[in-house]
Structure 1
Amino acid sequence: MHSRTLVARTVIAGTAALAVSLTGCAGAAGSGGTGGGGSGDGYEYGASTEEIRAAFEDIDPITISYQPSAQSAEDITSYRSKAFIEDVEELSGGAVTVETTYGQGIAGYTDLADALVDGRVDVAYMLPVYQPDQFPVFAGFVAASTLTGTSPLVDELAANAALGEMAWGSEDLLNEYRDQGLHPLNPFNAAGAIMGLCSDEVSTLDEWSGKQVRISSGAQITQLEGLGGSPTSLEYTETYEALQRGTVDCTLSATLPATTSGFLEVAPNVSYTDEVTFARGPGATVAGSAFESYPLAVKQLLFDAMLRNFNTSRRADLEGNSQAAQQVREFDGSFQAMAEDAEDSLKEASQGVVQAEVEKGSLPESAEQDVADLMERWSGVAEELGYADDEGEFEDYDEWYTSGQDYLMPYSQRYFDEVMLPHRPS
């Protein structure tokens, strides 16, 4: 099927996406399968809007303090937060109010876990990648993300589904949250593929050699060293000026933050990979200590909202690719696939990063094969549903990609049904 025809086959977007015709399931997000300490009856997954609201009629009003990743409601990354607010408030019939604070206004990312536990924040988008000592298993999964590959559409969908399935199947990762008093609603959002954004064209191993490159994780340090580059740690807010002044030659970034931060104005030459990728910058949607006291219907509603959480996350990442294509042309840049010699070196370094995490115990011994198998499986799902990369490349992505949440909903629904639904609070 031609990928553009998918729009006609999608389920209705918005809150109706949570009311598909499926039956309930077992397990509990973030509570070890017990359902937590909340009281009251829940509702069957697939219930109508009216049936869901009926489950909230006897629930006292609840206000949830929510801190998303978006800097403002106008930010492109606010797709995810707006969908969450809409699902929770509208489907609860107003019984649950979401009090939203943008721009990390309550707690910075390194303080967010504590804020969730002490009640300053009830639900948030976290970046455990910034705290590898506190979240070592999560750091292992960041290393595993290096093996996912980069194509404009299919790899992006498959990587997030594959790593999401690995995450929900890892009791070590889930317990890493639970043991700290946190309740994962989406334990590993792999986010967009990381590419090299450089002031000059960089593709071959010789061209990477000696380049000063801004990195954001330990895994990226090892990968850069494998390419002969010099990894540099910089605050995100300092990166634009460093690229502008030539203090660094490149930064590693997904296209979404690159377009919103202006990086492509000063580093418009994009180097992307094929078989592997630079370690991603993943996050997680997590509930805090208050989750334990919520009535079952509230827990279920927060969990069910993760269908559109996954969907809108993919929409924002892919629209980042579309905006990047426009900006690269505007600033006379280029997209270049990494040369074979450089990609071979990056692959070897990436495999070494994963093996090091296996030896630490942060990943299972089968991690490399698990990623390969799951990437193949979820790439197959994409093909089955009609998503394909054969319409264009990164440089003309804005001309062939079909935008909008309806387009991605069949894939998102498949992921939610097959991976997340067994963990729904009950």
Structure 2
Amino acid sequence: MKTTKRTNRALTAVLAAGASIGLLAGCAGGVGASGGGQSGGTGFEYGASQEEVDAALAELEPVTLTYQPGASSQNSETAANGLAFQKYIEERSGGKIKLENAWGQSIAPYTELDDALTDGRVDIAYYAAIYFPDEFPTVDAYSKLTHYSTAAPLTGEAISAAMMSELGWNSEEHMQSIEEKGLVPLSPLMSSGDYWTACSEPGSAPEDWQGRQMRIAGTAHTAFAEALEASPVSMEYGETFEALQRGTVDCTFVQPQVAGSTGLLEVAPYVSHFADKRMTGSATAMHVAGPAIKELPLAYQQIIFDAEVDHWHGMVVNTMDAGRQAVSDAKGAGGEFVEMDPETEQIIAETQEKLVDDLIAEGRLPEDIREQMEASAEKWTGIVEELGYTDAGELDQLDEWYEKGSVDFRPLAERVFSESAAGHRPS
């Protein structure tokens, strides 16, 4: 049987960062057609030899899946996760599973991604669920819990990413919110890095924020802007460069992956960040597939699921590589990368804890959530240290001591998989 794939699809590059997975592609939008309706079949154990995997795939027909990474192109600073995911799948399957990449959200923007995943235009995708707090209330709630770990530029990102992944996998409510939409979670909760503020003019003291137009990405940022007497303006990251360039907004809350992949700091080079803590809001996205993935042979489903180890590694690489570029961009534009004014940091920190209090009072988070997050931070800090990850400098010198793509986060990703995701593996 021949492989079935979509044709004549225009790929329109747009400014984007992050990754997204599209639905399983096939004739008339069905995976069954592209794979011969071979659901079920023989699987293999996680970590099986390549010979065992080849044996499980021996009688299976090839399939081609449409994958929508969120990066603008394969050359983007945030393409590492999508490329690592694709490479693992195609190599592990001996070429029997092909991913047809649609970069830059060229098939479906986030506002249409639900429909694209369920109707078969996309098979697997990175989904910035933080933009839809009413549809994904758990993402909105959990995004307000990302400040309970260190702000260290490398180890802090690794610890926080592990904490939020574990939280997502272990939350029955969160998993149900994804599955109720007909989607299949591959990584149910992901971090794109700590938040900073980036402005077109210098100054981070409380009086500097008064009257500024602040681009926000999530509901936590609305509260921050209002506490600083700034005006929150909601927009997706793809619109932010032009808004800053034209002066429609003065500042933006921004993560490394967006800052380093979109050139934002060329027009907003005055960056401020917390001194010793993290700014909350970084759990913004998930990696999901459409329901048709369940029509694939079991061995194919397992390969796709197992590829999340490499995808998770790539997400942290994205954060580090883009962060390095962001620091370089700010310096190159004559700006600065500095610690936030202590009084401003205190205002935001107090607002973060009030948000947690409100979520507990509303019954959206358990009363002991702080203790849970602190215990999680302690656990993953120990694992990160055990695996030998270290920081060789400060954030404002990231372009000097961190080399692009130089750190392998797969050992940590393996621990995340075994500690939280393994029980969800298709079987």
Distance 2:389 2:285 in 1: 25
Q: Aligned residue for 1:141?
A: 142
Match of 1:356 in 2: 358
Deviation >4 Å, runs of 4+: 146-149
Q: Relative to 1, partners in 2 of residues 1:168 and 1:405: Cα closer, same or farther, differing over 3 Å? A: farther
The whole-number CA distance in structure 2 between the counterparts of 1:96 and 1:60 is 9
User: Does the 8 Å CA contact 1:203/1:336 hold for their aligned counterparts?
Assistant: no
Partners of 1:349 and 1:412 lie apart in 2 by 32
SS at match of 1:151: coil
Match of 2:120 in 1: 119
Question: Structure 1 residues 358 and 117 mapped into 2: Cα distance closer, same or farther (>3 Å)?
Answer: farther
Change (3 A) 1:87 1:103: same
Which whole-Å CA distance do the structure 2 matches of 1:330 and 1:201 have between them?
15
Structure 1 distance, partners of 2:289, 2:248, is: 40
Aligned to 2:346: 344
Partner residue of 1:29?
Answer: none
1:417 is aligned with what amino acid? S
TM-score (norm 1): 0.86
Letter in 1 for 2:222: I
Spell out, residue by residue over 1:206-262, the C-alpha distance to the aligned partner (whole angstroms, 9 max, x if none): 333333211121111012222332212245344223323433221111122222222
- 8 Å contact kept, 2:337–2:396: yes
Change (3 A) 1:272 1:71: same
SS at match of 1:407: coil
Inter-partner Cα distance in structure 2 for 1:95 and 1:245: 48
Instruction: Provide Cα deviations, 1:301-354, integer angstroms capped at 9, x if missing partner.
Output: 111000001001100110111112211221121111123222221111111222
Structure 2 residue ranges without an equivalent (≥5): 1-37
Distance (Å, rounded) in 2 between the aligned partners of 1:254 and 1:210: 23
The one of 271, 290, 293 equivalent to 2:292 is: 290
Q: 1:335 to 1:173 in 2, by over 3 A?
A: same
Quick one: distance in 1 between partners of 2:98 and 2:247?
Answer: 47
SS where residue 69 of structure 1 aligns?
coil
Distance change >3 Å, CA 54–CA 247, structure 1 → 2: same
CA distance in 1, matches of 2:351, 2:268: 25
Q: Deviations over 1:366-416 (max 9, x none)?
A: 222222221222122222222223x31122112212442653232222222
Greater mean alpha carbon deviation, residues 334-343 or residues 405-414: 405-414
- Which amino acid in structure 1 is aligned with residue 353 of structure 2? Q
> For 2:411, what is the secondary structure of its paired residue?
helix
Give 3-state SS (helix, strand or coil) of 2:408's partner.
Answer: helix
Q: What residue is the counterpart of 1:264 in the other structure? A: 265
CA distance in 2, matches of 1:316, 1:293: 31
Aligned 8 A contact 2:77 2:260 in 1:
no
1:291 Cα deviation from its structure 2 partner = 1.7
Query: Could you tell me which residue of structure 1 aligns to residue 49 of structure 2?
Result: 48
Equivalent residue of 1:232, what SS?
strand
Q: Which residue of 2 aligns with 1:9?
A: none
Structure 1 contact 147–277 (Cα < 8 Å) conserved? no
Verify the 8 A CA contact 1:312 1:405 in the aligned structure 2.
Answer: no
Partner of 1:395: 396
Distance 2:65 2:248 in 1: 43
Correspondence for 2:23: none
Query: Contact 1:256–1:316 at 8 Å: present in 2 too?
Result: yes
Of stretches 41-50 and 353-362 in structure 1, the one that deviates more from structure 2 is: 353-362
C-alpha separation between the residues in 2 aligned to 1:335 and 1:369?
32
2:380 is aligned, of 372, 378, 392, to 378
CA gap 1:346/1:355 in 2 versus in 1, 3 angstroms = same
SS class of match (1:277):
coil
SS in 1 for 2:86: helix
For the Cα contact (< 8 Å) 1:109–1:126, is it kept in 2?
A: yes
Task: Check the 8 A contact 2:263/2:329 in 1, yes or no.
Answer: no
**Gapped runs of 5+ residues in structure 1?**
1-36
Distance 2:205 2:333 in 1: 22
State the Cα deviation string for residues 252-300 of structure 1 (Å, max 9, x = none).
1112222222211111111111323042262111011112212211111
Matched, 1:317 2:307: no
Partner of 1:219: 220
RMSD over aligned Cα atoms: 2.0
Query: 1:207 maps to what in 2?
Result: 208
Q: Which residue of 1 aligns with 2:190?
A: 189
Greater Cα offset, 244-253 or 182-191:
244-253
Q: Find the residue that maps to 1:63 and give its secondary structure.
A: strand
User: Taking structure 1 as reference, are residues 381 and 205 closer, same or farther at Cα in structure 2, changes over 3 Å only?
Assistant: farther
1:55 aligned counterpart, secondary structure? helix
Shift of 1:46: 1.2
Deviation at 1:424, TM superposition (A): 1.6
User: Per-residue deviation at 1:83?
Assistant: 1.4
Q: Is the 8 A contact 1:186 1:284 kept in 2?
A: yes
Aligned to 1:177: 178
Name the counterpart of 1:22.
Answer: none
Aligned residues: 389
Match of 1:255 in 2: 256
Counterpart of 1:357, as a letter, is: L
Pair 1:50–1:104, CA change in 2 (3 A) = same
> For the residues of structure 2 that align with 1:205 and 1:151, how far apart are their CA atoms?
24
Question: Which amino acid is the alignment partner of residue 174 of structure 1?
Answer: M
- Name the structure 2 match of 1:423: 424
Contact 2:78-2:322 within 8 A present in 1 as well: no
Question: Higher relative CO (CA 8 A, sep ≥ 6), structure 1 or 2?
Answer: 1
